[in-house]
Structure 1
Amino acid sequence: MRTPIELGVRAEAMLAELAAFSDDDANLTRLYLSPAHRAAADHVAEWMRAAGLDVGFDALGTARGRLKPTVPGRAGNRRLLIGSHIDTVVNAGRYDGMLGVVAGILAAEEIRARGIELPFGIDVLAFGDEEGVRFPTTLVSSSAVAGCLVPSDLEARDADGVPLRDALLAFGGDPEAIASAAYAREEALAYLEVHIEQGPVLEAEGLPIGIVTSIAGQSRFSVTVAGEAGHAGTVPMLLRRDALAASAEMILAIEDVARAGQAHQMVATVGRLTARPGAVNVIPAEVIFTLDIRADADAPRLTAIADLDARFQAIAARRGVSVAMDKFYESPTTPCAPRLQEALAAAAGDLGLPGRRLASGAGHDGHAMIHLTDVGMLFVRCRGGISHNPAEFAAVDDMGLAVEALIRAIERLATDAASSGDRI
């Protein structure tokens, strides 16, 4: 039996090992279905075997480690799913995604070591394609597990023109066996994930862990503002139809609306902007900018979008330009199940921690898993809120507390199942 600090030390050592598997010698870059992903998945599978789990790979390349139930009951053929992803962004840190896989393995191993009785099984899952970097897809492997994969995603091609289908075959997967990767709804009890916060809230409040209330819904738009080009020296300011000036006012409106939505942890970002014709002495005739807006619930996000549309139209009319908002991505909010929040909060309480609740502004595999079962998440403090960056860091003590909290939450769910007719 390991103490929390020992669990944290072991987690850090495992994460260091996993960071060695990279597609780039200069930094940590491990893309879905790449040789580095294959090597990392095999290494994770070895850890699972060493932890006493039965191991296999599904058709989309997800490594699965299974811990069998130890006591009889109606839930004996059902499984609590625990996991995260092992693919990365380019020039990544070593904690995003990987910590959740390592935490799941350590929790399963410790449950065996402590002799905790389980009326259900545990499956630890190491997904790929959460980051959506190599192919113009995302959540392919967790979507397959959840039974909601869009088959056309297999035809997506990477920057070198390689179809996902061909990359999957090279990896050792089977694009013809998508259906076999899915759990039946009645098999899955819940999905739990440990993840670094990727934000600064826990650090600012001096807390090592927090309980996620929801994974923010996201809407993304391409906004086109059309005006009229003209000579920079001869068109009077009051007669201009300047698409860039109008866009600037719209961007300030975006900031204003998002700041007003802080009760719902709303954020809005303009990450890309192009002005045409792009000459130093020509009034911009067209501007295209992106809008990414997120909140902890769908209703406030959709209300904010409607508000922005009305503000954009008013700005356009006043400035003599036109504006069009074209949505190119929509992901509904994924609520975390109250029963799972309570189990994680109680586990935090056992460790003398307050069980701080907060929403996740970033997307996670839970967006797919919600189509299969209830989702619960535990956040771990990360230094400076930095993620998707080599400077990404979580302390050994914090990771150890997170693994211990996960173990205690699982134990509580097992007790609840045993005392309530195997329902949790």
Structure 2
Amino acid sequence: MNSDDPAYTSTELADEDFLADFHHTSVYGATEAGGIDRQAGTAEHGAVRAWFRQRAEALGMTVTIDGIGNQYATYGWFPGEPTVLIGSHLDSQPLGGRFDGTYGVIAALHAAARVNHEVTAGRLDPAHNITVVDWFNEEGARFAPSIMGSSTMVGIKDLDEMLAVTDVDGVTVKEALDSIDCLGTDPAPEVAAYAEVHIEQGRILEREQITIGAVTQSWYTQKLLVAVKGEQSHTGATIMSDRHDALVAASKIVLFTEDVVENFEPEKIVTSVGQFTVYPNSPIVVPREVDLVIDLRASRTQDVLDARDTLKRQIADLAAERNIRIDVEDYDIRDIQHYPLDGVELTEKASADAGVSCMRIETMAGHDSVAVNRIAPSVMVFIPSVDGVSHCEREFTTDADMVAGVTAFTQIATRLVTGALDGTAPGEPVADATSERI
């Protein structure tokens, strides 16, 4: 199919095409429980990325790949000129959901095709090209850190350092990209503006019965790398008073991490321990060490800092009480990013024109738009998630909400290619607003 195909003269058929493409992507890395497992640089990830290239070329786009494996599919009406970048990512968490990231890529692919049809039909006069991006390794499940491809493209991360990152088996990012034919040499495009549509991964839109979320800001986030160091000993021969059990202490830290949220306003801070490694992990050995990662996120920076200080005090007291060593290191600190107010208002107007409801909302999770917003005015858009569930196989968004999202997102893309955010600075502050709606 190309942009002149009769399917793009009918909204109903275009919607069916979108749904067919989206649901097709679920065969790559499909799991028995209806999710996907497509970690970055795996064969499954390579297969869906190859399909993306073929589909984009069939729609008349030119595909390039940069040095960190980001894929760009472009309608180049003005060769060599800046482009409006739209998209998301196709990699997943282990046993993850089939909507996270993938929806944004396929929605962008179809929005771009619809915009191109209007341009070639003479009904739209663009000021910029349009490019659909499939970012590499947004999830960070196999290779840390997350948001790797977009962060490298905008200059936050060093390319050579990221290519040298290894997974648990010692495979480098460079080797993984080469294995799936995604180690490119093409330059990244110059970005005039960026837009990303994504499932919410929370339940605010569902709870408020709103179709589109216009994202105003990201949350402040940081991690704590914690190494609990006790002493290895025999579980059967060592009396309880002589033990220096790293696992018991680490378990208390997990509870500290959950309980610290009680000190703050409800729904304004989240905490978790998502990674937990025990050594030597033998059934007859008292653990000598546990490494864990604490994840702290909040709407207000000070809340994260206060939670961090409370946890560090509790951990220091625990180490003294149990006569063990606990090392705590700050890691992966990400400041709040405010999205430009002009982009938020653009989303509200586009939603109104598309006939769907819209409210302002904050993003608790990180996204590629947080990185790109540092170099170009960026728009972040949410659609509802059923039960607010994400990063698991039960993740779900209805076809109706996905189609409505594509319709609104096409309106956003149309405005961007005609220069709606030209002159807008990246990351302009906006007031905290989580309940405004139209």
- The TM tier, using the shorter chain, reads 0.7 to 0.9
| 1:27-62 CA-partner distances (Å, limit 9, x unpaired) | 732232333333322321232233332323333333
SS at match of 2:423: coil
SS at match of 2:73: strand
Counterpart selection for 1:106 from 107, 110, 124: 110
1:381 positional shift:
0.8
Deviations 1:219-238 (A, max 9, x none): 22134567899844x79xxx
Output the CA distance in 1 between the equivalents of 2:169 and 2:323: 43
Change (3 A) 1:246 1:98: closer
Stretch deviating more after TM superposition (125-134 or 350-359): 350-359
Q: Match for residue 153 of structure 1?
A: 162
One-letter amino acid of the counterpart of residue 161, structure 1: G
1:82 aligns with 2:86: yes
Q: Which of 319, 328, 332 does residue 325 from structure 1 map onto?
A: 328
Q: Work out the CA distance in 1 between the residues paired with 2:76 and 2:46.
A: 26
Contact between 1:213 and 1:359, CA under 8 Å: does it hold in 2?
A: yes
SS of the residue corresponding to residue 77 of structure 1 reads coil
Check conservation: 2:84, 2:417, Cα contact below 8 A.
Answer: no
Q: What does residue 95 of structure 2 align with?
A: 91
1:137 Cα deviation after fit: 4.3
TM-score by length of 2: 0.77
- Partners of 2:357 and 2:76 in 1: how far apart? 32
Report if the CA contact (8 A) 1:8-1:401 is conserved: no
Mapped contact 1:295–1:301 kept (Cα < 8 A):
yes
1:19 matched residue in structure 2? 26
Q: CA deviation at 1:124?
A: 0.7
AA aligned to 1:163 is T
Residue 42 of structure 1 aligns with which residue? 50
Task: Give me the identity figure in percent.
Answer: 29
Whole-angstrom distance in 1 between the partners of 2:278 and 2:49: 44
Aligned amino acid, residue 108 of structure 2: G
Deviations 1:119-150 (A, max 9, x none): 11111111221122333443333234323442
More helix per residue: 1 or 2? Answer: 1
Alignment of 1:406-417 (within 5 A): 406-414=409-417, 417=420
* Cα-to-partner distance string for 1:56-79 (whole Å, 9 max, x where unaligned): 333333321112358x9xxx9221
The residue type paired with residue 409 of structure 1 is I
4 and 259 in structure 1: CA distance in 2 versus 1, 3 angstrom threshold: farther
**Would you say the 8 A contact 1:259–1:267 is kept in 2?**
no
Alignment of 1:271-282 (within 5 A): 271=274
**Structure 1: distance between partners of 2:249 and 2:172:** 41
Give, in whole Å, the separation in 1 of the partners of 2:68 and 2:62. 18
Moved more, 123-132 or 47-56: 47-56
2:181 is aligned with 1:172: yes
Tell me the distance in 2 between the aligned counterparts of 1:170 and 1:287: 33
After superposition, the CA RMSD in angstroms is 3.8
Instruction: Tell me by how many angstroms 1:168 deviates.
Output: 2.4
Aligned with 2:171: secondary structure? coil
User: How far apart are the structure 2 equivalents of 1:159 and 1:252?
Assistant: 27
Of residues 187, 192, 203, the one that matches 1:181 is 187
Displacement of 1:193 in angstroms is 0.7
Residue 269 (structure 1) shift? 1.2
User: Aligned partners of 2:157, 2:15: CA distance in 1, in Å?
Assistant: 35
Normalized against structure 1, the TM-score is what? 0.80
Bigger Cα displacement from structure 2, 166-175 vs 313-322: 313-322
Distance 2:331 2:254 in 1: 18
The residue type paired with residue 96 of structure 2 is: A
Matches within 5 A, 1:331-346: 331-346=334-349
**Structure 2 residue 213 is the aligned partner of structure 1 residue 210:** yes
**Distance (whole Å) between structure 2 residues aligned to residue 15 and residue 265 of structure 1:** 33
Q: Deviations over 1:303-344 (max 9, x none)?
A: 332343345446767888775422343333333222211211
Q: In structure 2, give the amino acid aligned to 1:154.
A: L
Counterpart in 1 of 2:72?
Answer: 64
State yes or no: 1:55 paired with 2:57: no
Cα distance in structure 1, aligned partners of 2:403 and 2:134: 20
Mapped to 1, the partners of 2:297 and 2:308 lie a distance apart of 10
CA distance in 1, matches of 2:285, 2:169: 37
Spell out, residue by residue over 1:57-108, the C-alpha distance to the aligned partner (whole angstroms, 9 max, x if none). 33333321112358x9xxx922111011111223333211111111111111
Q: Where does residue 431 of structure 2 map in the other structure?
A: none
Q: Give, in whole Å, the separation in 1 of the partners of 2:167 and 2:254.
A: 32
What is residue 374 of structure 1 aligned with on the other side? 377
Cα distance change on mapping 1:113 and 1:390 into 2, 3 Å = same
1:140 aligned onto 2:148: yes
Structure 1's unaligned 5+ residue stretches are none
CA distance in 1, matches of 2:391, 2:414: 32
SS at match of 1:91: coil
- Asked if the contact 1:101/1:126 (under 8 Å) is kept, the reply is yes
Match status 1:129 vs 2:133: no
The answer (yes or no) to whether the contact 2:212–2:357 under 8 Å persists in 1 is no
Report the Cα offset of residue 203 of structure 1: 1.5
Query: Which shows bigger deviation, 88-97 or 152-161?
Result: 152-161
2:19 corresponds to which letter in structure 1?
E
Which SS does the other structure have where 1:334 is aligned? Answer: coil
Deviates more, 1:368-377 or 1:334-343: 368-377
Could you tell which deviates more after superposition, 347-356 or 115-124?
347-356
Q: Distance in 1 between matches of 2:49 and 2:285?
A: 54
Alpha-carbon distance between aligned partners in 1 of 2:290 and 2:103, rounded to the nearest angstrom: 41
